[in-house]
Structure 1
Amino acid sequence: MNILFINSIGRNKFGGGEKWMVNAAKGLTDRGHNVVLASKRNSRLLEYAAGRGVRTEAMEIRGDFSPLATLKIAAWMKKHQTDILICNLNKDVRVAGLAARLVGRPVVLARHGMLLCSKKWKHKLSLTRLTDGIITNSRTIKEAYAGYGWFDENFVKVIYNGLTIPGNVTAFDFAARYPGKKIIYSAGRLSKQKGFEYLIAAAAMLQRKRNDLIFAISGEGKLEAELKSKVKALGIEDTFVFLGFTPDIYPCLKGCDLFVLASLFEGMPNVVMEAMAMQKPVVATDVNGARELMGASTESLRCDTGLIIPPKDPAAIAEAIEKIIDNPAAMAAFGKAGRERVETHFTVPIMVDNLEKHLKAKLAEKARRG
């Protein structure tokens, strides 16, 4: 198959959706498919993809409507006989999806790692007219879209994220920097979505009761100054530290004691999967995909891999941390169960298997329709 992934995210942005796209492109490339990943010139995404051995192409999409970009992408797909186009953002669907319709050949799929469309007419129009399906990573997103009444039962396909569990990870030596302390770690963009303000509030609550915890965050973003100001105002600068952008968080995950996800919304939170792969217990807010990833049922928050708590609730975060941080046996059991769950359900080979089968099925479906 000739496959084009396109993702017009900002040049300096890189998150779970971008990591999924590179993993998918690399996995399909390794299976003999002709795969290209396109994004903005000099973007962090293209640099990361090229470093992983994925073919890249610079394509600029700046808005929802760009006739010149549409014509350029259409000419590229016609020249390279593209069979499958997988779009990331809504504007990618509108610009590149329209290009695919002009060419007539490619199957067009939107990949939604989060709930990316609401019940707006422009979302309905672009997704029903310019795509042949949606790939998402959690049942909760599929169920939300089913409630819109726009799509038939098979239009939205759930394909869980996958990761490659690294073999030899050297743990970051938190003990050398913070001797005698227990490390609570988190990672993500410093944005409203990630809920770090609630984690900061929970840290302040715990500091009033004990002095053996360090909270460390990897990430950068527009709220950095605001979050640091909150930490300073609460007087917890010595126990709540910002590590900045961390290209490889596995050493930090392996070196910490407990991972916390405080997000307000997610798709399938990759960082939780990575923490589980490093055999770390997880405290996570009850956001899209968290229950599926951590093994909780749809009716209950109970799971073997950690604790699931309500979002926007610092007291719940603090309580969950205290519930397990002083219980080494429980933490070890949660970590072991998490690693086993990732190995069974969430590896890149499993993800690529499911994706490849789905792409072939969509091509066959298009061929039957003529």
Structure 2
Amino acid sequence: MKILYIDGDGPFGGASRSLFEAVRALPAGSVEPHFVASRGTALDVYMQVAKDYVSTRGMTKFDNTRYSHYRGIRWLVLLREVFHLPFTVAALMKARHRWKDIDLIHVNEAVYIIPAMIAQRLFRVPMVVHVRSLNQSDLRSRRTRWLVDILARRAGAVVAINENTRATLPASLSVHVIQNSFTAKRAPKPDRHVVEKLDALRPGSLKVGFVGNLHHSKGLFEMLEAAKAIREAGRDVEFLVVGGVTTEEKGIKAWALARAGLAQNVQSELAAQIERDGLSDCFHLLGATLDIKCVYDRLDVLLFPSHYDAPGRPVFEAAFSAVPSIVSVSKPFADTLVDGETGIAIPAKDPAKLAEAILHFADNPDEVERMGANAKRLAESNFDPSTNARKLLELYQRVLQTA
């Protein structure tokens, strides 16, 4: 079975890691993966599992996600989408010329529905659409109605990564929930830079950490405010931030993204704020690493104070290391977070509640162990790579049988 995977995310992040894990775990010989992807670290990783690939400078999006849908100044982002359209078409036409017998298209995120539609017209095969982000769910919006209509008519199957994401799609739309996966293994070659920083942490301190790309929407500055409150409370807590900045753009494109709030030099802002607040002894920027299991093994509690109102990949990744989480989510679903059992749910943009949750673990170390053990059981049940890969393969087969 030859599958064309489409992904326009250049930096290797949560969505690309999820696709890589899924493809790598598919039964041997069941799929020949072919990729059309934007140049960047994500493509570098995809090349480990790809039969063949076509790269592109960028890929056109249609963004109707809850956080970054077009509104106000964000309409400027359409300049980026128009700019990327010729590169998108050229890459897909190159793929069509090179690969004559693709069986199925799998687009890694619904924001890339336009490239998926172009690919479907070129290859004349069914497609599977992954929905990895919370979407705008107001059906009074013409954009929302258009996207739902395309998914209903053009997609052979729609896959949501968890029940939180599924809840933002209409109940009338047929959606399969297949959780993401994580291979809980250390990297073959340790990241010495990160290991040295981890070794320098204070024995006996509570280690709480964030893992992911750095952006204001991830709640990093709420973490700084919480760190100040905890320092004033006299607790020995160290904060770790593991991740890098989003892609740096230049020229008019950079200006438009900055005006829209989609490109920010968060790492420099964080470093400056840490210095101003005198938090350098307890708030550490470790940078990005591929040896992520090494980080989780050294954490006591994972922090995910995102503004997105959903648990991200790090929540279940850390759980494989028996690490509970503090997550900004208003309505947690039991497939990812059980409040008070596998972690603690808090409101978004609330540093006081974040500090309160951290203090709960600092003052009750037995809770770290109890909730961590529960989190690990949940992760092993829901996020096993081989189990979820089999579910995905079965879905591919059903789509092809009914096409």
TM range (shorter): 0.7 to 0.9
SS of corresponding position for 1:37 = strand
Which stretch of the first structure deviates more once superposed, 221-230 or 85-94?
85-94
Number of the residue aligned with 1:340: 377
Name the CA distance, whole Å, in 2 between partners of 1:260 and 1:270.
Answer: 12
The letter for the 1-side match of 2:53 is E
Deviation sequence 1:186-242 (CA, Å, 0-9, x none)? 111110221111111101100111151111110111311122222223221221111
Name the CA distance, whole Å, in 1 between partners of 2:87 and 2:187.
Answer: 47
Name the CA distance, whole Å, in 1 between partners of 2:221 and 2:212.
Answer: 13
Deviation sequence 1:276-329 (CA, Å, 0-9, x none)? 1001122111168665312x2xxxxx3421211111111111111111223232
Name the TM-score, length of structure 1 as normaliser.
0.85
Which stretch of the first structure deviates more once superposed, 188-197 or 128-137?
128-137
**How many Å apart are 1:70 and its aligned residue?**
3.3
Over 3 Å counting, the alpha-carbon distance change for 1:176 and 1:191 in structure 2 is closer
- Counterpart contact for 1:138–1:289, Cα < 8 Å: no
SS of corresponding position for 1:312 = coil
SS of corresponding position for 2:360 = helix
**How many Å apart are 1:166 and its aligned residue?**
2.0
Name the CA distance, whole Å, in 1 between partners of 2:283 and 2:219.
Answer: 15
Tell whether 2:42 aligns with 1:28.
no
- Counterpart contact for 2:206–2:237, Cα < 8 Å: yes
SS of corresponding position for 1:133 = strand
Number of the residue aligned with 1:7: 7
Name the CA distance, whole Å, in 1 between partners of 2:93 and 2:199.
Answer: 55
**1:302-317 alignment to 2 at 5 Å?**
302-317=339-354
Which stretch of the first structure deviates more once superposed, 338-347 or 221-230?
221-230
The letter for the 2-side match of 1:49 is Y
SS of corresponding position for 1:185 = strand
Tell whether 2:316 aligns with 1:320.
no
- The answer to which structure, 1 or 2, has the higher relative contact order (CA under 8 A, 6+ apart) is 2
- Counterpart contact for 1:138–1:160, Cα < 8 Å: yes
**1:43-192 alignment to 2 at 5 Å?**
43-51=40-48, 53-60=49-56, 61-63=58-60, 64=81, 66=85, 69-70=88-89, 73-74=92-93, 76-77=95-96, 79-90=99-110, 92-104=112-124, 106-116=125-135, 119-121=141-143, 123-124=147-148, 126-128=150-152, 130-146=154-170, 152-154=172-174, 156-166=175-185, 172=195, 174=198, 176-192=200-216
Number of the residue aligned with 1:299: none
The letter for the 2-side match of 1:111 is H
Number of the residue aligned with 1:228: 271
Tell whether 2:352 aligns with 1:356.
no
- Report the identity percentage: 22
SS of corresponding position for 2:156 = coil
Name the CA distance, whole Å, in 2 between partners of 1:311 and 1:363.
Answer: 41
Number of the residue aligned with 1:218: 242
Over 3 Å counting, the alpha-carbon distance change for 1:339 and 1:90 in structure 2 is closer
Name the CA distance, whole Å, in 2 between partners of 1:351 and 1:360.
Answer: 14
Name the CA distance, whole Å, in 1 between partners of 2:17 and 2:332.
Answer: 17
Tell whether 2:231 aligns with 1:207.
yes
Name the CA distance, whole Å, in 2 between partners of 1:242 and 1:338.
Answer: 26
Deviation sequence 1:60-92 (CA, Å, 0-9, x none)? 254356467436525634734111111135563
Which stretch of the first structure deviates more once superposed, 24-33 or 236-245?
24-33
Name the CA distance, whole Å, in 1 between partners of 2:323 and 2:354.
Answer: 16
**How many Å apart are 1:24 and its aligned residue?**
1.6
Unaligned runs of 5+ in 2: 61-80, 246-264
- Counterpart contact for 1:218–1:246, Cα < 8 Å: yes
The letter for the 1-side match of 2:54 is A
- Counterpart contact for 1:281–1:334, Cα < 8 Å: yes
Unaligned runs of 5+ in 1: 297-301
- Counterpart contact for 1:16–1:270, Cα < 8 Å: yes
- Counterpart contact for 1:141–1:288, Cα < 8 Å: no
Name the TM-score, length of structure 2 as normaliser.
0.78
Which stretch of the first structure deviates more once superposed, 125-134 or 239-248?
125-134
The letter for the 2-side match of 1:19 is R
Name the CA distance, whole Å, in 2 between partners of 1:172 and 1:5.
Answer: 34
Deviation sequence 1:315-366 (CA, Å, 0-9, x none)? 1111111112232322111111111111112111121121111111112221
Name the CA distance, whole Å, in 1 between partners of 2:357 and 2:151.
Answer: 40
**How many Å apart are 1:146 and its aligned residue?**
0.6
Give the superposed CA RMSD.
Answer: 2.8
